[in-house]
Amino acid sequence: MTSLLSERVARMKGYVPGEQPRAGTLLKLNTNENPYPPSPRVLRAVGEAASRDLRLYPSARADELREAAAQCYGCRPEQVLAANGSDEILALCLRACVSEGDVVAFPRPTYSLYPTLAEAAGASIVEVPALPGEIPAGLLEAGAAVTFLCSPNSPSGASLQLQEISRFAQAAGGLVVVDEAYVDFASHSALEILDRHSNLLVSRSFSKSFSMAGVRLGLGFAAPDLIEGLNRVKDSYNVSRLAAAAGVAALADYRWMRDSAAKVCATRDRTISRLRQAGWQAADSDANFFWLDCGGEGGLSVYRRLRDGGVLVRYFNTEELRGGVRVSVGTDEQMERFLAVLGV
């Protein structure tokens, strides 16, 4: 079977997602899902959409969703791309802007899907070590066709400063993608500087703050000519009728999302404070997760200890990250269970 694959794909390892247990009593704090439900308007909208016209294709560009997003975020519909999750937006950026052998660059550590997408596109990968909240100087020297900046970053939870993003985009020769999957748990967004840079694209997700990970829906914001180029290479009908209806309803009840995100942030900060009081090193975070330094015990040992106690967190077996674990923020009750298993 491998002989049917291209040489590039045959040697790829592929992206490894967080464990998704099928059943049981495991508390899932490993994939950054929102512990609270989406707006009731979303559930009603999906039900109504499912009861009519499923035999028909959806809008090719999800026009109603794009118009709702433009009104919500203060831009024009032609600056908005709707996609099957924000991961599709990242892939479309490479499909549209990268030729084989071009450089794709990003700080390290960061979202582990970036190298998989870059390798699939036949790109040369440049990863530049970076401290949390930093755009490393060497990143600009890569001369990348596409640079990914995740803010807030995973797994650190640290945000990039807007002036640093702006300075980088101004100097970069290629496309700069700011991946804001977790931005609703933070204090600022690169959408504020979008109109200053024609080479800047901001990617958003409905999975985290809107509690719609099962829907698979994302938005990209950029200059109209860039959005038009991405539309040329996307799938014909990449956003289903159900997903588009859910997105419109979620944006119409934006307050529900803000309230949900505020609850998550309050629980996050309380949990981090409790951990620090107990002597653990938990990093500040602008996301719906935080990084827990496991000290001499090591990340794998803590991961196993928590899993044996029924709590699933994310362990990354890489040189930079194997000393800790990433912990998604659940409800207050769920985090109490996490702390109890940890012995706090």
Q: For residue 19, what pLDDT is reported?
A: 82
Q: Give the C-alpha separation, 51 to 134, whole Å.
A: 48
Single pTM value for the model: 0.95
Q: How far apart are CA 144 and CA 107, in angstroms?
A: 12
CA distance 46 to 213: 14
Tokens of 121: 């596109």
pLDDT higher than threshold 90 for residue 12: no
Give burial (CB, 10 Å; 0-12/13-18/19+) of 260. Answer: buried
Average pLDDT (190-206) is 98
Count CB atoms within 10 A of the CB of residue 135.
Answer: 19
- Beta strands 103-108; 80-83: pairing state: unpaired
Q: Are 158 and 169 in contact (CB under 8 A)?
A: no
pLDDT digits (tens, 9 = 90+) for 256-273: 999 999 999 999 999 999
Contact predicate 120/98, CB 8 Å? no
| Whether pLDDT at 128 is above 70 | yes
Is the pLDDT assigned to residue 1 strictly greater than 60? no
Residue 2 pLDDT > 70, yes or no?
no
What the block records as the tokens of 333 is: 């009750």
Identify which of 316, 263, 268 has the alpha carbon closest to the alpha carbon of residue 293.
316
Confidence of residue 17 (pLDDT cuts 50, 70, 90): confident
Tell me how far apart the alpha carbons of residues 337 and 267 are, in angstroms, rounded to a whole number. 13
CA 172 from centre of chain? 23
Q: What percent of the chain has pLDDT over 70?
A: 99
Q: What is the mean pLDDT of residues 101-114?
A: 97
* pLDDT tens-digit readout, 269-300: 999 999 999 999 999 999 999 999 999 999 99
How far is 142 from 14, CA to CA, in rounded Å?
Answer: 24
